[in-house]
Amino acid sequence: METKRVFPQELIERKQWICWRLERKQGSEKPNKTPYAPNASRRASSTDPATWGTLDQAEASCAKFGYTGIGFVFTKEDDLVGVDIDHCRNPETGELTEIAAAVVKRANTYTEISPSQTGLHFFFHGALPEGGNKHPNTGVEMYAHSRYFTMTGNRLGNVPMTIAEDAETLAWIHRTYVEKSKPQKA
């Protein structure tokens, strides 16, 4: 029996939902998470609102067309920022890496476990700091628009079901885990 996904009400109310399917890309071993429009059996774009729909539409299309899952699109028209940390959670024990544990402790916002069960998605109201949005060594990525998160509705532990107003947490995450170290002058 599949468990019901649970999302913050403010995400449910937005028409920024899509579907996605794991698809092999020629010449690549890792499959892509290809976005699909929830109101038609065509591809979606993270920059074209005409290819997005409601959560209900996305869930219905996911079942109808056999998509892998649903997703939520970040736009320039709102102040939502998503933080994605990959490979930070043991799917069997739930144990978090040092980076993920530090962000969870400070964030106090809606956080869900990724479809792989090994990553976390954090949601904030705020602004994306300037100076890059990801660091390959930490696995931390930050997005404010033109991207989507694969969504599970599988909330991490006892984190809030609401999206927090950023209280300098985004700047701290960026400064601590995203900014690249500048080379020292000799």
Would you name the residues annotated as active-site residues? 84, 86, 121, 141
Instruction: Compute and round to an integer the Cα radius of gyration of the chain.
Output: 17
Q: Which residues pair with 140 in a beta bridge?
A: 85, 135
The 3-state DSSP class for residue 44 equals: coil
With beta carbons less than 8 A apart as the criterion, state whether 59 and 102 touch: no
Rounded to whole angstroms, how far apart are CA atoms 111 and 41?
30
User: Is 151:5 a contact under the CB 8 Å cutoff?
Assistant: yes
